[in-house]
Amino acid sequence: MELDHLSFGFCLFLIVSSSILCDSNAFVPADNYLIDCGSSTNTTVDSRIFLADLSISWTLSTPKTILASTTENSVSSLYQTARIFTGTSSYSFPIQKQGRHFIRLYFFPFRYQSYDLTSATFTVSTQDFMLLTNFQAPNSSNAVFKEYSINITAATLTITFTPLGQSSLAFINAIEVLSVPDDLIGDFSQTLNPKGTYDGLSKAVLETIYRINMGGIKVFPSQDTLWRTWLSDRSFLKSENLAKFVNFSGAINYLPGGATRETAPDIVYSTATELQEPSTVVRPLFNLTWEFNVDKSSFMIRLHFCDIVSKAIGNLYFNVFVNGFLAVSNLDLSTLTVNTLAAPYYVDFVAAVTDDSSKIRVSIGPSTLDNVLPDGILNALEIMKMNTTSASLDGEAFSITDNQSKKKLGIILGSAFGVFFLVLLAVVLCMVLRRKEKKIKKDKSKSWLPLSNYRSSLLSSTSKLSNETTAASGQNGLGLQFPFAVLQEATNNFDENQVIGVGGFGKVYKGVLKNDTKVAVKRGNSKSQQGINEFHTEIELLSRLRHRHLVSLIGYCDENNEMILIYEYMEEGTLKSHLYGSGLPPLSWKQRLDICIGSAKGLHYLHTGSAKAIIHRDVKSANILLDENLMAKVADFGLSKTGPDLDQTHVSTAVKGSFGYLDPEYFRRQQLTEKSDVYSFGVVLLEVLCARPVIDPSRPREMVNLAEWAMKCLNKGQLEQIIDPHLAETIKSDSIKKFVETAGKCLADYGIDRPTMGDVLWSLEYAMQLQEAMPSTLELDSLHRISQLSPRVNALNNDLLEASPNAGRNDLSDLSMSSVFSQLLKSEGR
Ligand SMILES: *[C@@H]1O[C@H](CO)[C@@H](O)[C@H](O)[C@H]1NC(C)=O
Ligand SMILES: *[C@@H]1O[C@H](CO)[C@@H](O)[C@H](O)[C@H]1NC(C)=O
Ligand SMILES: *[C@@H]1O[C@H](CO)[C@@H](O)[C@H](O)[C@H]1NC(C)=O
Ligand SMILES: *[C@@H]1O[C@H](CO)[C@@H](O)[C@H](O)[C@H]1NC(C)=O
Ligand SMILES: *[C@@H]1O[C@H](CO)[C@@H](O)[C@H](O)[C@H]1NC(C)=O
Ligand SMILES: *[C@@H]1O[C@H](CO)[C@@H](O)[C@H](O)[C@H]1NC(C)=O
């Protein structure tokens, strides 16, 4: 057993270290033609050698050889020579590796003998695509640089120059043709209006129009992994005084499955432009906008993000707009980058510019979430013109809809969102790695393993088995399907000794997969319709929702009419077992607060993390699980219901839930809102405070129901009657006061009087601040005091004071659940 751990760990170590080695290797293009046209000598630019084109004249066919040069010194040496064509001429490059290539063309018109290159008008095309139509280099002292990105599927690339007009001249100063990594441009992109996906990018011919490094200085080809140029964003910013330029000196954490150094290099991700921090308590309700002039056409817009500004995860949420459309709502980089700071992330949009103003505007703006500081960043931006016909880049904009791709949803989920799901899988991976690392006592630095390896090691049986299982299938399509045999083996054929819990749904077994990953296997026993419904609800919800404070679904099995769900194993069991009845050592006040905060975050995410709020319906201490670090995760979504539509106020439903936690209003009116969860969570808070069961029939009548009894005591100011005696020593009175007050508000009779989960979360975090504050500060007006401790809290305070929990909020109803992002959309049921 121990040996297994060691060898598994060692394998991980090998894979991780080899992948680190790969990262440090610079990308070497399979095809790499660099030609200094018209030159008789090689030219070295940015430590790359552009060959004299005489030495590769075998690639060229032209009626007449004219090599031109200028004495103009103000331009790069590449521009000082040119080859002039008086008739149709072409370069032919054998292609070693099919796939995407950059084609870069350098033009600088000068006068050479009787040839005036400023008068040259010509076309440039590949064998099947027109790159430049009627091109004439502007008569100024500026050079013209063009970069195209083309998926070359032929064995030879032919670039043809065709002179037009009276002068009948064409020319070129330098050419680059180089391979780029296959994954640089995926096949799928999002659309903005309507929201959806666009597929077909892998065939598109792209022309780079803008490549911008936000918050930064210009990045030169020598500093880029693919010899690209990134311009500074300053001249594109609409109001520079709203912006703050950030420069980060730490390491950029490229994650497997995400952006790579070829997507954009460290130097690009290390700078960002940030929303200017609020100077005072006034919440800055402005967007920061960059504006780019473009032709009427269709464009691929790639936004690069990397959270180099936060000190801790989960603090940065912001909105992103492209041309006035909400592109990403409440972008939460922490979640998208597996809770890693300074990890790059990018997202592509396809948009058509059809109006005559012909501008692309990209904005970042403050989040609409509660208790989130107005902030936002952008690290880099690329705007590429897309071909709108199959022959040329000069067509009109085409209308971009997601109709074509709807039927391919399965594939899209599998591939376009691949990065996203890989990232999700990485959450699980990360936990496994952490555990393994501890065991082999490696250093604490984060290590990663390619996800494909992880995925198969998760199933590590025979290859036949993994073949069967890696294809995620079924109507849910998202979860990982496990063969029944693998689960039988993992749980020792569902041995009763492995049972770690029993619920309405069935028994929960502890299981160990072949690779020593511990899992919790929940096996449904009833074939009732309710059971089946709950099974599907849970798979569907959990596959869609990922959050560090929600228990992750690893997979499921529905072979032979089985209904089995496989979850991450939570080492420390339920919160309930740590509060009473199991003889475990009592938790400290800080631990309890941490657990409450964690579970509040999980519930807050459920309520606000998708377009439609999700109501848990069975919030209780037995459904809050703790991992080995006592981090809380909310579990058991079997009863969950999607919340009210934005235009409805509640969901009517039969009363379900657990006795003692049940919202009396829900009971009375059978109408479900998120506030029912808030009520139940209030009961959990009391449970945490008092460390006793919510219903305890062994007690005197008035004490049986915890919620009733505790509220009675609290209203009489008799806190000492109910508080867990273990807490008395460690607890600070202001902290407990805030905590008790919060619990009381949660238990308000009417949902409308209860705070939202976001408000509860804030109050609990505040209680934590009070607990950790220096003793002397507590004697003064605590709210005032604390507000001076941290500007962040200060701003939050003001938010809380200004906005009553029920104040109207911006509802953004044009969002769809299918979007990849955690759309932490507020959709309060009221
Ligand atoms: C240019 O460089 C190439 C490869 O490094 C070499 O083969 C060729 O002889 C050089 N040509 C000249 C004119 O120096
Ligand atoms: C370009 O400008 C130069 C002088 O600035 C002029 O002599 C030449 O005719 C111009 N060429 C064209 C094509 O307009
Ligand atoms: C290039 O196009 C071919 C088919 O047109 C496609 O199979 C391939 O995946 C594409 N390659 C890239 C890197 O997009
Ligand atoms: C960022 O910091 C580095 C090192 O301190 C410096 O070389 C670089 O110029 C800075 N970049 C910007 C945009 O200020
Ligand atoms: C930001 O821009 C979007 C789109 O133009 C707009 O809907 C939103 O209200 C703006 N936000 C602020 C705070 O001005
Ligand atoms: C762009 O050009 C490619 C290659 O010619 C073609 O396959 C693709 O359909 C074109 N895209 C559009 C939108 O016409």
CATH superfamily assigned to domain 575-788: Transferase(Phosphotransferase) domain 1 (1.10.510.10)
464 to 11, 410, 461, 468, 514: CA distances (angstroms): 22, 23, 8, 6, 15
Ligand in nearest proximity to the CA of 152: 3
For ligand 2, atom 6, which residue shows the shortest CA distance?
139
Is beta strand 121-126 parallel, antiparallel or unpaired with respect to 60-61? unpaired
The reply to whether ligand 2 has any atom less than 6 angstroms from the CB of 537 is no
What pLDDT is recorded for position 786?
34
The reply to whether ligand 4 has any atom less than 6 angstroms from the CB of 247 is yes
Most confident segment among 365-369, 598-602, 644-648, 731-735: 598-602
**Contact status, residue 665 vs residue 600, Cβ threshold 8 Å:** no
Lowest mean pLDDT among 133-137, 275-279, 501-505, 693-697: 275-279
Q: What's the pTM?
A: 0.55
* Joined tokens for residue 219: 């990045």
Compute the distance between CA of residue 135 and CA of residue 143 in angstroms, rounded to an integer. Answer: 13
**Contact status, residue 322 vs residue 362, Cβ threshold 8 Å:** yes
- Residues 759-773 have pLDDT tens digits of 999 999 999 988 887
For ligand 5, atom 7, which residue shows the shortest CA distance?
324
Tokens 């308590």, residue?
281
Neighbours of 320 (CB within 10 A): 23
Is beta strand 48-52 parallel, antiparallel or unpaired with respect to 32-36? parallel
The reply to whether ligand 2 has any atom less than 6 angstroms from the CB of 167 is no
Would you kindly state where each structural domain of the chain is located, as residue ranges?
A: 2-179, 228-296+306-387, 457-568, 575-788
Compute the distance between CA of residue 147 and CA of residue 137 in angstroms, rounded to an integer. Answer: 15
For ligand 1, atom 8, which residue shows the shortest CA distance?
55
Most confident segment among 284-298, 385-399, 491-505: 284-298
For ligand 3, atom 7, which residue shows the shortest CA distance?
202
Maximum separation of any 2 CA atoms in the chain, in Å:
110
CATH number of this structure's domain 2-179, picked from the four choices 3.40.640.10, 3.40.190.10, 2.40.30.10, 2.60.120.430: 2.60.120.430
Q: Categorize the per-residue pLDDT at 450 as very low, low, confident or very high, splitting at 50, 70 and 90.
A: very low
Q: Categorize the per-residue pLDDT at 775 as very low, low, confident or very high, splitting at 50, 70 and 90.
A: low
3 state SS of 1 = coil
Determine the distance separating the centroid of ligand 5 and the alpha carbon of 364, expressed in angstroms: 9
The atom of ligand 6 lying closest to the CA of 398 is 13
- Residues 667-723 have pLDDT tens digits of 677 677 889 999 999 999 999 999 999 888 788 888 888 998 999 998 888 888 899
Determine the distance separating the centroid of ligand 5 and the alpha carbon of 645, expressed in angstroms: 24
What pLDDT is recorded for position 313?
78
Among residues 299, 142, 147, 126, the alpha carbon closest in space to that of 226 is found at 147
The atom of ligand 5 lying closest to the CA of 325 is 4
Tokens 């050698």, residue?
49
Q: Which helix (H) or strand (E) holds 405?
A: helix 403-406
Helix and strand numbers (H, E) in the chain are 20, 41
3 state SS of 691 = coil
Bigger pLDDT: 402 vs 45: 45
Query: Binding site for ATP: residue ranges?
Result: 522
The reply to whether ligand 4 has any atom less than 6 angstroms from the CB of 271 is yes
682-685 contacts at long range (C-beta below 8 A, 24 or more positions apart): 682/707, 682/742, 682/743, 682/744, 682/745, 682/746, 682/747, 682/754, 683/620, 683/707, 683/746, 683/747, 684/575, 684/596, 684/599, 684/619, 684/620, 684/621, 684/624, 685/596, 685/739, 685/742, 685/743, 685/746
* Joined tokens for residue 42: 């090689």
CATH 3.30.200.20 given to domain 457-568 = yes
Residue 154 has φ and ψ, to the nearest 5°, of -90, 170
* Joined tokens for residue 679: 């009520």
Q: Which of 348, 375, 618, 724 is catalytic?
A: 618
Tokens 């509802």, residue?
811
Is beta strand 121-126 parallel, antiparallel or unpaired with respect to 89-94? unpaired
Determine the distance separating the centroid of ligand 4 and the alpha carbon of 609, expressed in angstroms: 37
- Residues 590-645 have pLDDT tens digits of 999 999 999 999 999 888 877 777 888 889 998 999 999 999 999 876 556 654 43
| Separation of CA 768 from chain center | 28
Averaged pLDDT for residues 291-318: 90
Q: Known catalytic residue: 618? A: yes
- Residues 530-583 have pLDDT tens digits of 667 777 777 777 777 778 898 888 888 888 778 888 888 999 999 999 999 888
Q: Tell which phi-psi region holds residue 257, choosing left (phi > 0), alpha (psi between -120 and 50) or beta.
A: left
Determine the distance separating the centroid of ligand 4 and the alpha carbon of 217, expressed in angstroms: 8
Compute the distance between CA of residue 703 and CA of residue 28 in angstroms, rounded to an integer. Answer: 74
